[in-house]
């Protein structure tokens, strides 16, 4: 017997007591499946029908649509997303020690909730690792370089004939 796959594409409507495939509801134009239209409630045949839906062409196409939208480079806001990532890594790199101090303070602060203190402690430990610091420096360097090239490519005065072979 194979282990049951995680059906994180399913969502329950508390008001209708039906389940929906939120992936198909949002990213498919098909009206063929109750999972993406009116909701599914045939509980007697749920196992078989949900399995069939998960392996259907339409569901897989909707999953592909969602993945395609997650690829930043194909989005209209690609430049903004890239710029934000660039600024975020720069801010983390420049304030690395200060961020660690604040996380340590938060992890010891009795006024914070247990989960906040735990999360702060975990982040502090992670930031103390050499690999994390190295990754921040590397990503910052790479993203700053990409940003610089983007700015040059978008410059109205760019002379394409001046690009070396």
Where do contacts with Zn ion occur on this chain (CB under 5 A)? 21, 23-24, 59
Looking at beta carbons only, is 54 or 147 nearer to Zn ion? 54
Looking at beta carbons only, is 28 or 89 nearer to Zn ion? 28
Looking at beta carbons only, is 12 or 134 nearer to Zn ion? 12
User: Measured from the CB of residue 32, what is the shortest distance to Zn ion in angstroms?
Assistant: 10
Looking at beta carbons only, is 21 or 120 nearer to Zn ion? 21
State how far the Cα of 52 lies from the Cα of 70, in Å rounded to an integer. Answer: 25
User: Measured from the CB of residue 74, what is the shortest distance to Zn ion in angstroms?
Assistant: 22
* Radius of gyration in angstroms for the set of CA atoms belonging to the chain, rounded to a whole number: 24
Q: Which residues of 78-102 are buried (b: 16+ CB within 10 A; e: fewer)?
A: eeeebbebbeebbebbeeeeeebee
Tokens 């040059």 locate to 152
User: Measured from the CB of residue 59, what is the shortest distance to Zn ion in angstroms?
Assistant: 3
State how far the Cα of 163 lies from the Cα of 161, in Å rounded to an integer. Answer: 5
User: Measured from the CB of residue 5, what is the shortest distance to Zn ion in angstroms?
Assistant: 13
């Amino acid at each position: 017997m194979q282990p049951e796959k995680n059906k994180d594409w399913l969502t329950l409507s508390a008001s209708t007591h039906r389940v929906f495939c939120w992936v198909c509801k949002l990213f498919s134009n098909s009206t063929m499946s109750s999972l993406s239209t009116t909701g599914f409630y045939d509980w007697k045949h749920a196992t078989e029908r949900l399995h069939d839906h998960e392996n259907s062409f339409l569901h897989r196409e909707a999953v592909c649509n969602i993945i395609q939208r997650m690829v930043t480079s194909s989005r209209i806001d690609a430049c903004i997303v890239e710029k934000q990532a660039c600024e975020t890594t720069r801010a983390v790199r420049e304030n690395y020690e200060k961020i660690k101090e604040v996380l340590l303070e938060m992890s010891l602060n009795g006024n914070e909730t247990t989960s906040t203190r735990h999360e702060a402690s975990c982040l502090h430990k992670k930031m103390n690792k050499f690999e994390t610091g190295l990754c921040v420096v590397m990503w910052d360097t790479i993203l700053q370089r990409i940003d610089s090239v983007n700015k040059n490519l978008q410059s109205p005065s760019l002379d394409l004939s001046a690009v070396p072979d």
